[in-house]
């Protein structure tokens, strides 16, 4: 601890949506420790969510190799890098073997993590402050705030956003000026998912897009990232009215600003959903095998669409997603887009 200011490490390696949901906790820690050195251990694929964040001092980035043997060696080197930094406090928001190894090897005197069963793969063995969660399901963002309360008790929900540099804003702003006349509300429809059990049918996306465009009050823009254009093509093959196709968002900063400029996000339970919510954009999201209580945006305007009273198994998820009809999605989108519930906090 240098000059009375602690050296703090946040550990949440991935995934993109989970990293976004730790941002409120980061904000609380920074408010409580304005002079602390606060770093974040993260994998490369989620780095752009955190780059430039005013509450962070440094990112400690793990470039995970594809080869297993090399990955083990690189991770050991990563652990040694963490240990050399001599952190006073480590908070493990991930709760798996890798994050537990980082936390334990850090040498920090104060190691905060979840108790079992939220902590998995033995990661709780290395923490000396364990936060037990309620038995009933709660939102992941709320779990993170409870973990944070071990360090900063009685904290209030902070305002959060993702830092977007001006050059990324300009690229997206120019696209919006070319593509839209400003007289309609823009629905950002994100089709691709990383896990097939989260995929709403492509023909449903097409039907919803047609309904929104035919309504006359909305423009629809299809968003996509590297390697995802095939999903867009599968939707376009079923559409009767042509939506706008956004340029490839090669960087999450560009996607964040695109989501910010839109009136509404529509899609599945994905990282882009959480990015849109963090940018203050209202959300309509379709759930099947994941629980909206745990995974929907927390304390942000949203409608979670799910067939039935509770999420299904992975095997049941495709059928449950299909049971959420385009008409149901259209009605939710109209309600949310016209409610004017967005919260703007971006400087």
Classify burial at 216, counting beta carbons within 10 Å of its beta carbon; exposed 0-12, middle 13-18, buried 19 or more.
exposed
The reported pLDDT for the residue numbered 1 is 59
Cis amide leading into 15 (omega within 30): yes
Asked if the model's pLDDT at residue 346 lies above 80, the reply is no
Asked if the model's pLDDT at residue 344 lies above 60, the reply is no
The angle at the Cα of 315, spanning 19 to 190, to the nearest 5 degrees, equals 45
CATH assignment, 7-149: 3.40.50.2000
Average pLDDT of 246-260?
Answer: 97
Q: Is 148 helix (H, G, I), strand (E, B) or coil?
A: helix
The reported pLDDT for the residue numbered 128 is 96
Q: What is the mean pLDDT of the chain?
A: 95
315: confidence class by pLDDT, cuts 50, 70, 90:
confident
Average pLDDT of 13-36?
Answer: 97
Assigned fold of 166-338? Rossmann fold (3.40.50)
Give the DSSP H or E segment for 244: strand 244-245
User: What strand order describes the sheet that includes 58-62?
Assistant: 58-62, 37-43, 7-11, 89-92, 110-114, 129-131
Domains 7-149 and 166-338 share a fold: yes
- pTM value is 0.95
Render pLDDT for 202-211 as a digit per residue (tens, 0 to 9): 999 999 999 9
Region of poorest pLDDT, from 66-75, 146-155, 200-209: 66-75
State CA 40 to chain mean position distance: 16
Domain boundaries, the chain: 7-149, 166-338
């Amino acid at each position: 601890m240098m000059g009375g200011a602690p050296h703090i490490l946040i550990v949440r390696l991935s995934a993109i949506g989970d990293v976004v949901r730790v941002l409120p906790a980061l904000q609380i820690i920074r408010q409580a420790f304005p002079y602390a050195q606060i770093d974040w251990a993260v994998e490369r694929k989620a780095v752009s969510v955190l780059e430039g964040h005013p509450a962070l001092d440094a990112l400690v980035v793990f470039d995970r190799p594809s080869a297993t043997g090399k990955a083990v060696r690189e991770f050991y080197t990563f652990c040694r890098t963490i240990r050399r930094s001599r952190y006073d406090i480590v908070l493990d928001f991930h709760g798996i073997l890798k994050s537990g190894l980082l936390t334990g090897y850090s040498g920090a005197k104060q190691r905060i993590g979840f108790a079992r069963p939220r902590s998995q793969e033995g990661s709780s063995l290395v923490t000396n402050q364990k936060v037990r969660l309620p038995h009933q399901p709660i939102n992941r963002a709320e779990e993170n705030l409870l973990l944070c309360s071990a360090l900063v008790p009685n904290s209030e929900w902070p305002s959060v956003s993702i830092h977007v540099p001006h050059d990324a804003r300009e690229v997206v702003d120019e696209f919006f000026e070319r593509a839209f006349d400003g007289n309609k509300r823009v629905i950002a429809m994100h089709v691709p998912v990383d896990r097939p059990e989260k995929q709403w049918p492509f023909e449903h996306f097409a039907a919803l897009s047609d309904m929104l465009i035919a309504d006359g009050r909305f423009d629809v823009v299809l968003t996509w990232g590297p390697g995802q254009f095939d999903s867009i093509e599968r939707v376009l093959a079923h559409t009767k009215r042509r939506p706008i196709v956004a340029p490839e968002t090669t960087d999450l900063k560009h996607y964040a600003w695109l989501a910010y400029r839109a009136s509404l996000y529509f899609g599945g339970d994905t990282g882009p959903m959480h990015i849109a919510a963090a940018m203050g954009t209202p959300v309509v999201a379709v759930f099947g095998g994941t629980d909206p209580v745990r995974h929907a945006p927390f304390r942000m305007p949203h409608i979670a669409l799910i067939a039935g009273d509770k999420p299904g198994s992975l095997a049941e998820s495709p059928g449950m997603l299909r049971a959420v009809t385009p008409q149901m999605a259209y009605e939710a989108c109209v309600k949310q887009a016209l409610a004017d519930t967005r919260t703007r906090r971006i400087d």
